[in-house]
Structure 1
Amino acid sequence: MSSEREVVALPLLEDDRAALRADCGSCFGLCCVALAFSKSSDFPVNKDAGKPCTNLQADFRCGVHSELRDKGYRGCTVYDCFGAGQHVSQGTFEGRDWRKDPATARQMFEVFPIMRQLHELLWYVTEALTYPQTRPIAADLKRALATTERLAGGTPEAVAATDVAAHRQEVNTLLLRTSELVRAEHLRKGGKKKNRRGADLFGARLKGADLKGADLRGAYLIAADLRDADLRAADLIGVDFRDADLRGADLTGALFLTQTQVNAARGDERTKLPKSLERPSHWGSD
């Protein structure tokens, strides 16, 4: 495939992340093939990267989709590609099926995890632009958005060569500033500064805790009790919510929360989520 071809990036609006939501029907089952997983509480078997999952059917659908958690594939119900799957399948590789065109398979599987990281950054930057408090850095955020879209819209060769770590570091500077600007408004309204960045809160008892406007970036909240906690305007980027109990918690307006984090946690019909995220179908069934 020529490295001179330019792939057009998926269009994104500042307040619309529709292109960053997974559309499995337009994907060639890339997460079921390109990624590896190990036998654990999340998966019942080992699978190497580039090897199709035994549950992947000829039409690229999962043969046990409705029974994933019952059969031990809990990790599949947590994962979200931020729309990278359909972008790689239909955009980067122009609808080429790796099964019918095996020559593209290895390259496609190499590109997919990189694209997933770029789409995650697009999710964060697009969200940052929705906050009125970020007007002072709006121009920088728009440039970061355009750069990330350009990288995601490149040829397979260009995407594979992307230094995602370096780009993430540049974008992260703006995301940190976004967090400061948004949470500063909470502090001006009389809120208390709560910095638990990177904190080890494994199994912490935080039922009913006032965490509004808190900096929880990168915190470990695995199996934490967050029932009825107030997490509005809290910075949740990179927070590990595996098995965290979010029943009745309020996460409306939480910064940089993703579907993957929500899927990994436990919740119920009382849990309040940002409008950009969906209530997991398995909530209430665990």
Structure 2
Amino acid sequence: MEEAAQVTAGRLRADCANCFGLCCVALAFTVSTDFAADKKAGDPCRHLGADHRCGIHAELRTSGYRGCTVYDCFGAGQHLSQVTFAGRDWRGAPDGGRAMFAALPVMRQLHELLRHLTEARDHPAASAERAAIGRALDRVDALTRLDPDALLAVDPAAERAEVGELLGRVSEAVRAQVPGRRKDRRGADLMGARLRGAALRGAGLRGALLIGADLRDADLRLADLLGADLRDTDLRGADLTGALFLTQPQLNAARGDTRTALPPALTRPSHWR
């Protein structure tokens, strides 16, 4: 088994060239502002080519498939394709790929946990939790290496709960560096909230609903954004430097611009202006 210390950021980034287009088949979507057509789980998207690549990848947003630009598997797709199923294409599988499709949501959640744990491991303020983080990395990494049947028996919710407690302790340690009283808005319903220029440095926003909220020019440095819903959140000019457990899908779902300050591990979405 790979040692937890070797779980690198590269492994946790999607590599579509080494995946069999799993997200384009396994997942279902419904006609909406995010998807231009209905698709059942297990049915290949009509834009998926024989080479497992998207035929409209460069025009997803203008073609009505904004939802596809938000999704990120955190490297789960290529891991399933090349490791769990040893490079066997779902098209030639006896079950038509059903086992592979069922495993994708489980593997994605495990890879997301690995992503958060590696961030926690590398944070200087998390030294007191370093051993616990290492054990959690070892455990979750081992789960990603199970055979298909054993993988489907994993309870992702239980894993998320256990890792979540650890990440919470790391968050407290990091945010304790912020002077003064830190706002705690965990799980708060802030849909459409007017928070332009808000002082939210070191705030606890874990699981907060920030759909459509106005956070222009807000100070979100060192804020805990684990699981926060940032769909259509206006982050233009906001400072997200050092924001904790923020992921690329969250950013891809939000709105921002060239003034939005991001943690170095994340990429400015191409649709931001």
TM bin (shorter chain): over 0.9
Distance 2:232 2:248 in 1: 14
Question: Where do 5+ consecutive residues of structure 1 fail to align?
Answer: 1-7
What's the offset of the Cα at 1:100? 2.5
Name segments (4+ residues, structure 1) moved above 6 Å.
Answer: none
- CA deviations on 1:213-261 (whole Å, 9 max, x unpaired) are 0000111111111111111100000111101111111111000000000
Give the structure-1-normalised TM-score. Answer: 0.92
Q: Secondary structure at the match of 2:38?
A: coil
Verify: 1:226 aligned to 2:224, yes or no: no
Matching residue's letter, 1:181:
A
The alignment's C-alpha RMSD in Å is 1.4
Distance 1:56 1:237 in 2: 32
Query: Counterpart in 1 of 2:53?
Result: 61
- 1:118-133 residue pairs with structure 2 within 5 A? 118-133=110-125
| Number of residue-to-residue matches in the alignment | 273
Query: Counterpart in 2 of 1:105?
Result: 97
Distance 1:191 1:245 in 2: 26
Please identify, of 95-104 and 208-217, the stretch whose mean Cα deviation from structure 2 is larger. Answer: 95-104
Question: Where do 5+ consecutive residues of structure 2 fail to align?
Answer: none
Q: Secondary structure at the match of 2:39?
A: coil
Query: Counterpart in 2 of 1:244?
Result: 233
Distance 2:3 2:61 in 1: 32
Verify: 1:264 aligned to 2:253, yes or no: yes
Determine if contact 2:171/2:244 at 8 Å carries over to the other structure. yes
Determine if contact 1:44/1:72 at 8 Å carries over to the other structure. yes
Query: Counterpart in 2 of 1:283?
Result: 272
Matching residue's letter, 2:259:
R
> Which residue, 25, 31, 50 being the options, matches 2:17?
25
What's the offset of the Cα at 1:131? 1.3
Give the structure-2-normalised TM-score. Answer: 0.96
What's the offset of the Cα at 1:165? 1.2
- 1:160-239 residue pairs with structure 2 within 5 A? 160-186=152-178, 190-239=179-228
What's the offset of the Cα at 1:11? 7.0
Query: Counterpart in 2 of 1:149?
Result: 141
- 1:75-90 residue pairs with structure 2 within 5 A? 75-90=67-82
